Amino acid sequence: MLKLPKNEGLNIVPFIDIMLVLLAIVLSISTFIAHGQIKINLPISENSLSVDENKEKLSILIDEQNAFYINDKISDIEQLKQAINALNSKTLVELSSDKNAKFESFVQVIDLLKAKKHENFQIITKKNP
């Protein structure tokens, strides 16, 4: 058994250094996860316009697995129908769809907008470089 001399204590400075490094790693990973965004690959368009950020809007997103998102929160078709029925006629609807998503999902959203007679919407695309 190893005996420490009475006048020397245990050096915990290296332990504190390791704990601070681990804390920094955990904090950097947790902020990345908290600010994660839904990844979609938008279709490319020659005539893509910039989005007006100042207007009242509802953002509808369809990802590659054909899941619907309303303002970055996952939802199903019934929640989407309720959100569209609650819309004001002046509210802008931004429709973003992954280029690999089924066209049927896109048509479902357009059909819900037509049923409400809501014509104030724009389709978000990526500008061709």
Per residue in 40-56, pLDDT (tens digit) is: 777 777 766 665 665 78
Calculate what percentage of the chain has a pLDDT beyond 90: 12
The answer to the question of residue 110 being in a domain is yes
The answer to the question of residue 81 being in a domain is yes
Q: Global pTM?
A: 0.63
The answer to the question of residue 7 being in a domain is no
How many domains is the chain built from?
A: 1
- Structural domain containing residue 103: 44-127
Which residues have CB under 8 Å from 101's CB, separation 6+? 62, 63, 64, 65, 66
At CA 98, angle to CA 43 and CA 76, rounded to 5? Answer: 150
According to the model, what pLDDT value does residue 126 have?
Answer: 81
Calculate what percentage of the chain has a pLDDT beyond 70: 79
Residue 106, beta-bridge partner list: none
The answer to the question of residue 99 being in a domain is yes
pLDDT confidence band for 6 (50 / 70 / 90)? low
According to the model, what pLDDT value does residue 19 have?
Answer: 92
